[in-house]
Chains A and B, each alone.
Chain A
Amino acid sequence: MTWVLWRQHRTQVAVLGAILAVFAVLMAITGNQMAHDYEAIRHCGDCRGFGLTRSYNLPRTVVNLSVGVPVLLGVFLGAAMMAREVEQATNVLAWTQSVTRRRWLATKLGTVLLITVAIAGGMAALVTWWSRTMNSLQDYRFEALQFDIQNLSPVAYSLFAVALGFAAAAILRRMLPAVGVTVGGFFAVRLFIELSVRPHYAATRHATFALFAPTVRPRGAWMVGTKLLDGNGDVVRGPLRMPAACRAAVDRLSADQCVSKLGYKVVSSFHPADRYWPFQLIEAGIFVALAALLVAVGAMVVLRRDA
């Protein structure tokens, strides 16, 4: 069985391994250069990081694109592992050898999930390692995109995507519809969790700022949102309309001062940096649980349905 799976998946493993290797080389070279540059400028006070981010735009874009790795694995490993077999009827060939369907499925799922963890884990480790300079400069790793490509969450997303691809292919039995469901379903769930669920893993903290004062981002925090409050503490929706008391102001500056005096202020809500790891664990837990559910559903369909 192990030989069969190796024979079936060796091309995929080779291609994915090659991509990972190329990525590793790029990360190693630019990551080290960037760390070196950072050492050179870190003692110059206010200029920290200034210019550094700009000269690493290309590798940075590549790193950010790794947000798409999970969905690629979902299509090329998850959906392909079932849909290709069913489309070519080779599942019938496999299920009429002397190995039970249950064992065939368990070994296949085990192998594919293992490859997923290896590739996604390798990718996440490289991205996390490469981002260490950026992390220490600006500490944006809690913000939306960086949170999604470093440490645990990308591996959990990948498991989810592969499980989704497998379940979709098991139910739909054809590659193209399964790919559609995998891509669409993955982005729908990811966006929903990121925009509507993740901010509520814990109650946000708030910081209040005067209307035209610069808002300060606590170091390493995830800024969830800001809102404008008027003098009574009510939220101002839409564009700020000039309060009646300040309409007489002659120029921009005096108008600003007038509004500030009325008690208008800006409140930002954020999650402090020390919540990074709990949030990573919750996020990963949710996606691993979803993956387990999808694997169970897909396996039940494969084992129960007539071939």
Chain B
Amino acid sequence: MTALPITTTGLGKRFGRTWALRDCTFEVPEHSLCALVGGNGAGKTTLLRMLAGLSRPTTGELEVAGRRPADDPAFLADVGFLAQEIPLYRRWTAEDHLAFGAHLNPRWDGAATRDRLRRVNIPLERRIEALSGGMRAQVALALALGKRPRVLLLDEPVAALDPLARRDFLGTLTAAVADEDLTVLLSSHLLADLERVCDHLVLLSAGHLHLCADIEEIVAAHKVLTAPARETAALERDHHVIHVDRTPRQVSVLARMGIGPIEDGWHVEDVGLEEIVLAYLGRTESREVASR
């Protein structure tokens, strides 16, 4: 059995006196396309950069593709990374970048990479600075996939792209996951996109991990309960209440359902991933406000 693509234990990173990420323990299962969500400053970039071996954790342990991040060719060959800035050499052509990938990666798959770029109509002879944001993202993704990593880490790669470019980008990504032995951890704010392509979700907020599970399981486990104005104490005993919305007439609760029974009088409804994520993000925000 091969090691899990990503495992972390008590992972933390401090910049000066501020913890960007704290006590983060999770696993990502093999062949998953895992979404990493969280508000601005939640620690997503910090987490991805540590996983890619670009920065070192302050506390805790992590393994990616069965190895601790290190300045070691075997680790580097297994892990692909696409940074938020989509870094490319501006004055080079896409063709130059293909040669760059071929020279620096022993497992480089030139034919597939060229094919991938041709399918999305990237002019290989044009300089990067003359390409659109969507095209640059495709070149950077092709470069990251071309080294054939086991784990691919993407830091908000679609944030700046228009809907069409986004669709093409995610299309390239899902096709790669389907074809190859690849696990992807992808951070983004675009929940609708993530819900469409991802099967797993890691939720960070204010430097802490809140959820890490299969998306279908998450959606199945969370319900919205509504009832005419009443107390929620009994409900909170048996179930994990995430968010309570109270008006004088009605109370609406978003909860992760436990094994206990639900009292009579609650009307139970299914809820979408987007609402669940917003409930988690909103919860930590209101807590922070309360503690100030």
Contacts and interface: CB of A to CB of B under 8 A. Distances in A.
A98 B87 CA distance: 17
Nearest to A305: B55
Interface string B80-112: 110101011110100010011101111100000
Contacts of A306: 49, 54-56
B89 A8 contact: yes
Contacts of B100: 4, 7, 97
Name the residue in A1, A8, A98 with the highest tally of chain B Cβ atoms < 10 Å from its Cβ.
A98
Interface stretch (A12-20, A60-68, A86-94, A186-194): A86-94
A contacts with B: majority SS: helix
A96 interface: yes
Contacts of B104: 1, 4, 94, 97-99
Nearest to A101: B71
Contacts of A101: 71
Given A96-B79, A97-B147, A98-B147, A88 B90 contact: yes
B72 interface: yes
Nearest to A11: B91
Chain A interface bracket (under 10, 10 to 19, 20 to 34, 35 or more): 20 to 34
Contacts of A90: 87-89
Interface string A64-106: 0000000000000000000000001110111111111110000
B77 interface: yes
A108 to B, nearest CB: 13
A113 B49 CA distance: 31
Interface string B207-247: 00000000000000000000000000000000000000000
B76 A96 contact: yes
B81 to A, nearest CB: 4
A90 to B, nearest CB: 5
A1 B143 CA distance: 16
Contacts of A100: 71-73, 76
B52 interface: yes
Nearest to A102: B71
A262 interface: no
Nearest to B76: A98
A301 interface: no
Contacts of A89: 83, 85, 87
Nearest to A8: B89
Interface in A1-36: 1, 3-4, 7-8
B54 A3 contact: no
A3 B56 contact: no
Contacts of B89: 8, 88, 90, 93
A88 B101 CA distance: 18
Contacts of A4: 100, 103-104
Contact of A92 (B87, B99, B147): B87
A235 to B, nearest CB: 57
B183 to A, nearest CB: 16
B62 to A, nearest CB: 14
12 contacts: A1-B103, A89-B87, A90-B87, A93-B89, A94-B104, A96-B54, A96-B79, A97-B76, A97-B104, A98-B106, A99-B104, A303-B71
Given A1-B104, A99-B73, 4 more contacts: A93-B143, A96-B80, A98-B76, A98-B107
List 6 tightest A-B contacts by C-beta distance, closest first.
A306-B55, A97-B104, A89-B87, A98-B77, A96-B81, A307-B54
